[in-house]
Amino acid sequence: MFSPLIDELMQALRVLPGVGPKSAQRMAFHLLEQERQGALQLARSLEKAIDGVSYCNGCRTFTEESFCGICRNVKRDGRTVCVVESPADILAFEQSGSYSGHYFVLHGHLSPIDGIGPEDLGIDILESRLAQGEIQELILATGSTVEGEATAHYIAELGRRNEVTVSRLAQGVPLGGELEYLDGGTLAHALNSRRVI
């Protein structure tokens, strides 16, 4: 109905999560009417990020370097590895100021119904690092959802097989809640009260 370039832009905007036809139309008109410079900046930022950002070779968080700032930081203790579902969870831990170990980012959780198995989450990489013997404790900080719990159980089993201490965040993480929305205090408490499983 609109001109081809506008129709194409509206269609392209729908790649964003939660953006349906009406939102896409509103976004396209807003950009064209009021944010032309901002729209070009967005285009450049998208290209740079897609071109430059991949997974950290250490922890699998997003980074444009071979290793992220946390993995490169020699003051951090690589013997403790905190396993999280999302890079956003790292931010939550760092803001709580209560953790100085390393991380491992799954970018999701086990979900057989969606065809997401251990290798899709890099768990094979984690397993080979466990076999190398440098990791002494695995803190499982996946969400307290059904899938998050199942993922934690799966990784806990790998940890035990490799004679590594495996812990889970203590009570304090709300049931069904998402880690990245937790306040720092609650997260610090849950971390300090973690229990060996």
Chain residues that interact with a second copy, rule: CB under 8 A: 1-6, 8-9, 11-13, 15-18, 23, 25-33, 35-36, 38-50, 52-53, 62-65, 68-69, 86-88, 91, 94-95, 107-108
- Among 23-31, 38-46, 50-58, 90-98, the segment contacting Zn ion (CB under 5 A): 50-58
Indicate which of Zn ion, a second copy, none lies near residue 59 (CB less than 5 to 8 Å, by partner kind).
Zn ion
Q: How far is the CB of 92 from a second copy (least distance, A)?
A: 10
Report the residue number, 118 or 137, with the smaller CB distance to a second copy.
118
- Maximum CA pair distance of the chain? 63
92 binds Zn ion, rule: CB under 5 A: no
Where do the DSSP E strands lie in 64-194?
A: 77-84, 101-105, 137-140, 165-168
Q: How far is the CB of 149 from a second copy (least distance, A)?
A: 22
CA 124 to CA 81: how far, in whole Å? 15
83, 154, 149: which is closest to 117 by C-alpha? 154
Q: Are the C-beta atoms of residues 102 and 59 closer than 8 Å to each other?
A: yes
Report the residue number, 71 or 166, with the smaller CB distance to Zn ion.
71
Q: What is the CA radius of gyration of the chain?
A: 20
Q: Are the C-beta atoms of residues 51 and 145 closer than 8 Å to each other?
A: no
